[in-house]
Amino acid sequence: MASAVSFVYVGLAGDTGPGYTVQSGLYRSRGGESPWEAIGDGLPPAPEVRAIAVHPARPATVFAGTQAGVYRSEDHGARWVRLDAPAPGLAVWSLLLHPRDPDTVFAGYEPAAIYRSTDGGGVWRPLPLGVTFPDVTVRPDPQPKRITAIAVDPSHPTELYASVEVGGLLRSLDGGGSWECVTEGLYVVDDAVDLHGVVVSPAQPRTVHVIGRIGMFRGEERGARWQHVPLPPLTLRGTYCRALTLAPDDPGTFYLGAGNDFDGDEGALFLSRDGGRAWRRIDLGAKPGSTLFGVAVDAAAPARVYCASKGGEVFCSPDRGATWRAHPLPEGATQVYALGVG
């Protein structure tokens, strides 16, 4: 049974490459209104949290992806236990609960790997990622290969997608048994295959939306044909996109967190009500001073929408984005890499 008031979770981390700023910690607020509290009983010391997933039917069950593996809480994050998923080489970057069966959990890793549990996190098995990547991402110097997001087509639940930074989009048509890269090729630069997210809306079966360094692309026919999705531009190169989610009760409504760069000084939240075709910028009441790295909608109360900037600004809307209230993290809590609600 869903709790009367949901919790909002924010995870801090950073890029795993050398020279990047890294923070650690996990914060929780009831409804995005109560004061933020640091939580982490059972998590590794200095947890770098890059992924959060909340069970839609049992919101007390929360998963967190860290530099030490996957953790689960059964009490809204008060206490955590480490699951039997392997420790990553660098980090767990993404988590997904299957839309048809939320006890099936996927975890995306760096170096690029995907593990799956079909029993809510008890037993994990690797999925065979025997794939190639666009040549520009491996020559002359290999770029990072991390699974930034995983998506399942709700209308075709054996069709899976995984976005790779930096490496394009991977696709499986047999439930994860085999994979191929559907953005393979030669590129002048790797902008278009530096991906940060992927979603498939139940309102548009076999149409894939991906976001990345220079914007959004729509892939029809399971990613066979791609076209650029125009967004309000934040730079001359396009819009740096970092977080994409759907309204659970209206699959034609998309929320997109963006900014003017990875370390940008401007954040923006965009909204589409027509399946990602037309977009407008939402007035958050204040201009975020950094790129939005997280967007989440409360599955139990879909009118409640949340977004968070990399710099620690959190914004809450009770009315599907019509009005907003700022609820910033405590001073010094920056490098937001994960946002969840439930």
139 pLDDT tier (thresholds 50, 70, 90): confident
Partners of 188 in the beta sheet?
A: none
| DSSP string of 130-184, one letter each residue | -----GGGTSSSPPP-EEEEEEEETTEEEEEEEEEETTEEEEESSTTSS-EETT-
pLDDT at residue 247 tops 70: yes
pLDDT at residue 2 tops 50: no
DSSP 3-state of 221? helix
Average pLDDT over residues 260-273: 97
Q: Would you kindly state where each structural domain of the chain is located, as residue ranges?
A: 7-341
For the chain, give the percent of residues with pLDDT over 70: 99
Cβ-based neighbour number of residue 166 at 10 Å = 22
Average pLDDT over residues 166-172: 97
Does CATH number 2.40.50.100 belong to domain 7-341?
A: no
Query: Which residues fall within 8 angstroms of residue 140, CB to CB, at 6 or more apart?
Result: none
pLDDT of residue 1: 37
Token pair 């909340």 in the structure block, residue: 54
pLDDT of residue 140: 87
The residue among 130 and 213 whose pLDDT is bigger is 213
Q: What is the pTM of this model?
A: 0.97
CA distance 263 to 260: 8
